[in-house]
């Protein structure tokens, strides 16, 4: 069996490991990524001050060391290769392309200067090549982060960390320079529902109380009416932490992180230069739907919040890839339990699968992909019995095809070279790595072969 996996984030790597561990047959795995660097959001999403979780890369490197595995980086499906190419060269295909697009608020003023989606801000501070040139202007004092998830918390924390705290991380050098001279003093995290419905996790919320130069600020009135016990352990822990923050007196000279609830932005205002000057917020009340879920409803009462920058962190969505069926409603690759299906007829497309966020949408932690990807690999093994045997081109034919198209495939040993350079550069500033953020520079470093 020969399998192509597209996307080298956690879901792709866990799928590779499960395929390579199959005992009923031998599987050769080629893992493609559009970047020359592996690991998806472990490298480009996880916050720089969360180094511990990034050590999961060691598990993926162990998969990469298996003899039947090849990493083929710097190859984008839909640009350098087509789905038809993959069908010709592989018995089965696994899409593990994640969720790389951002969701939109759909309000007036979105898109003006200094209104920056989390995808861009996160990619910028993490040195993702797509966002290395993003214009992040931190000459403002107040920033609003929209959304109550862990990405919102990450973005707020990075904005408020001191230069010394950030220097020891793998934050991109260009971002470190801007963050060091940042004038941001106050960040507002704005949740549309109440404190008990917040999506951030207690561990992340707790960390906000331990920043070197910033303190969390919660208005006790915002917590009134919240039950002592919600029946959900995480919500109860969040409420406990929020109550403790509300009881605290912030340090006099500390920067402030305001956690606000039950407000939705309805408009973003610009100043004379066309840059963000403020937000119009509508106060919400909670309503319980017939299915028991709790939703926010506008109350018709408004307030203005003066801020110089807005960061919507309201979730991600899968990008469309030419030739791959797309579910317009769920904004993922069209699938039934991990088998790719035609978006209209829902008929299964033989030999094609999807794992990770591209399958399920942007929810869940890195470790959760291990079980989920293995589950799809079990489907692949079951379906393989029905595959008509056919002769595939030689294993290296795909590399020749890419070179004929002027693409320079990047192998795992190439990546190891880049890794060494980054680690050595990082050591100079006492950081785990100093990322190379430009694909051209990575390829130049690797030379032509
Ligand atoms: C900002 C942020 C911070 C997070 N922090 C944490 C955390 O601290 N702890 C935690 O447990 N979880 C965290 N998560 C969640 C975790 O990152 C995800 O659960 C996980 O990365 C999703 O895995 P994936 O493999 O589906 O997608 P991804 O990790 O996004 O990987 C997708 C890969 O596909 C590649 N790709 C995309 N399109 C193509 C194409 N056309 N051709 C070839 N390759 C392509 C991309 O380059 C990428 O490498 C975070 C998520 C975000 C957004
Ligand atoms: N440190 C970590 O472990 C870490 C770090 C980052 C990310 N992650 C994980 O990655 C996943 C994605 O995180 P995420 O923060 O992007 O998503 P998320 O957890 O789904 O949070 C999205 C937030 O945006 C809000 N939202 C959505 N649409 C909105 C709108 N139109 N207006 C206002 N608010 C809106 C949601 O509110 P509603 O709830 O009302 O819909 C929710 O609070 C999560 O599973 C997360 O745990 C983990």
- Taken in order of first residue, the domains within the chain and their CATH numbers are 2-100+317-446 (3.40.50.720), 104-314 (3.50.50.60)
User: Using an 8 Å Cβ cutoff, are 93 and 46 in contact?
Assistant: no
DSSP annotation string for 181-219: T----EEEEE-SS-GGG--S-HHHHHHGGG-SSEEEE--
User: Using an 8 Å Cβ cutoff, are 307 and 143 in contact?
Assistant: yes
* Among the bound ligands, the one closest to the CA of 131: 1
Listed in order, strand segments (DSSP E) in 241-387 are: 255-260, 263-270, 276-288, 294-306, 309-312, 316-317, 326-327, 332-333, 335-336, 339-341, 348-354
* Among the bound ligands, the one closest to the CA of 205: 2
Ligand 1 pocket test: pick from 32, 38, 46, 402 the residue with the most ligand atoms within 8 Å of its Cβ.
Answer: 46
- In a 10 Å sphere around its CB, with 0-12 CB exposed, 13-18 middle and 19+ buried, how is residue 199 labelled? middle
- In a 10 Å sphere around its CB, with 0-12 CB exposed, 13-18 middle and 19+ buried, how is residue 51 labelled? middle
CA of 341 to the centre of ligand 2 (A): 27
* Residues within 6 Å of ligand 1 by CB: 6-12, 32-35, 40-41, 45-46, 50, 53, 76-78, 96-98, 100, 122, 151, 154, 321, 356-358, 364-366, 369
* Among the bound ligands, the one closest to the CA of 367: 1
Q: CA-to-CA distance for 367 and 274, rounded, in angstroms? A: 43
Q: 301: alpha, beta or left, given left = phi > 0 and alpha = psi -120 to 50?
A: beta
User: HEC states along 350-387?
Assistant: EEEEECCHHHHCCCCCCCHHHHHHHHHHHHHHHHHCCC
CA of 412 to the centre of ligand 2 (A): 33
Q: CA-to-CA distance for 297 and 78, rounded, in angstroms? A: 41
pLDDT, one tens digit for every residue, the chain (449 residues): 999 999 999 999 999 999 999 998 999 999 999 999 999 999 999 999 999 999 999 999 999 999 999 999 999 999 999 999 999 999 999 999 999 999 999 999 999 999 999 999 999 999 999 999 999 999 999 999 999 999 999 999 999 999 999 999 999 999 999 999 999 999 999 999 999 999 999 999 999 999 999 999 999 999 998 888 888 999 999 999 999 999 999 999 999 999 999 999 999 999 999 999 999 999 999 999 999 999 999 999 999 999 999 999 999 999 999 999 999 999 999 999 999 999 999 999 999 999 999 999 999 999 999 999 999 999 999 999 888 888 999 999 999 999 999 999 999 999 999 999 999 999 999 999 999 999 999 999 999 65
Residue 231 tokens read as 């029946």
Residue with tokens 């203005």: 304
* Among the bound ligands, the one closest to the CA of 415: 1
Which residue, judged by its Cα, is nearest atom 8 of ligand 2?
150
Q: How many CB atoms lie within 10 A of CB 4?
A: 25
User: Using an 8 Å Cβ cutoff, are 192 and 263 in contact?
Assistant: yes
Ligand 2 pocket test: pick from 44, 118, 149 the residue with the most ligand atoms within 8 Å of its Cβ.
Answer: 149
Contacts of 101 (CB under 8 A, 6+ apart): 119, 316, 317, 318, 319, 331
Is the Cβ atom of 365 under 6 angstroms away from ligand 2?
yes
Is the Cβ atom of 364 under 6 angstroms away from ligand 2?
yes
CA of 443 to the centre of ligand 1 (A): 23
Q: CA-to-CA distance for 439 and 35, rounded, in angstroms? A: 8
Q: CA-to-CA distance for 280 and 266, rounded, in angstroms? A: 6
* Among the bound ligands, the one closest to the CA of 191: 2
Is the Cβ atom of 398 under 6 angstroms away from ligand 2?
no
3-class secondary structure, 227: coil
Q: CA-to-CA distance for 147 and 95, rounded, in angstroms? A: 28
Ligand 1 pocket test: pick from 41, 76, 78, 149 the residue with the most ligand atoms within 8 Å of its Cβ.
Answer: 41
Ligand 2 pocket test: pick from 101, 117, 147 the residue with the most ligand atoms within 8 Å of its Cβ.
Answer: 147
Q: How many CB atoms lie within 10 A of CB 144?
A: 28
Q: Which atom of ligand 1 is nearest to the CA of 99?
A: 30
Distance of CA 325 to the CA centre of its chain: 22
Helix (H) or strand (E) holding 95: strand 92-95
């Amino acid at each position: 069996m020969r399998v192509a996996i597209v996307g080298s984030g956690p879901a792709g790597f866990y799928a590779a490991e499960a395929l390579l561990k199959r005992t009923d047959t031998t599987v050769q795995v080629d893992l493609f990524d559009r970047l020359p660097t592996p690991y998806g959001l472990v490298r480009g999403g996880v916050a720089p001050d969360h180094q511990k979780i990034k050590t999961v890369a060691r598990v993926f490197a162990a998969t990469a060391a298996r003899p039947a595995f090849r990493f083929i980086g710097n190859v984008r499906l839909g640009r350098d290769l087509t789905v038809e190419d993959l069908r010709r060269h592989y018995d089965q295909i696994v899409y593990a392309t994640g969720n790389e697009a951002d969701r939109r608020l759909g309000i007036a003023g979105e898109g003006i200067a200094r209104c920056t989606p989390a995808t861009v801000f996160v990619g910028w501070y993490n040195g993702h090549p797509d966002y290395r040139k993003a214009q992040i202007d931190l000459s403002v004092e107040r920033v609003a982060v929209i959304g109550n998830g862990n990405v919102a918390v990450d973005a707020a924390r990075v904005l408020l960390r001191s230069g010394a705290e950030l220097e020891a991380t793998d934050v991109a050098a260009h971002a470190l320079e801007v963050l060091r001279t940042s004038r941001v003093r106050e960040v507002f995290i704005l949740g549309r529902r109440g404190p008990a419905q917040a999506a951030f996790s207690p561990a992340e919320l707790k960390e906000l109380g331990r920043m070197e130069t910033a303190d969390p600020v919660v208005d006790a009135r915002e917590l009134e009416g919240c039950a002592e016990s919600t029946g959900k352990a995480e919500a109860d822990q969040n409420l406990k932490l929020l109550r403790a923050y509300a009881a605290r007196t912030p340090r006099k000279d500390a920067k402030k992180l305001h956690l606000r609830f039950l407000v939705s932005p309805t408009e973003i205002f610009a100043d004379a230069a066309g840059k963000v000057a403020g937000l119009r917020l509508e106060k919400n009340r909670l309503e319980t739907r017939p299915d028991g879920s709790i939703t926010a409803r506008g109350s018709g009462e408004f307030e203005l919040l003066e801020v110089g920058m807005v960061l919507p962190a309201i979730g991600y969505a899968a990008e469309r890839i030419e030739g791959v069926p797309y579910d317009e409603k769920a904004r993922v690759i069209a699938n039934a339990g991990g088998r790719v299906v035609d978006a209209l007829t829902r008929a299964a497309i033989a030999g094609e699968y999807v794992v990770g966020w591209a399958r399920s949408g942007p929810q869940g932690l890195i470790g959760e992909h291990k079980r989920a990807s293995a589950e799809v690999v079990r489907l692949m093994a079951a379906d393989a019995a029905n595959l008509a045997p056919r002769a595939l081109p030689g294993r290296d034919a795909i590399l020749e095809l890419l070179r004929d198209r002027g693409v320079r495939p990047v192998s795992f040993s190439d990546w190891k070279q880049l890794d060494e350079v980054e680690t050595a550069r990082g050591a100079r500033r006492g950081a785990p790595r100093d990322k190379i953020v430009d694909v051209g520079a990575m390829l130049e470093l690797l030379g032509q072969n």
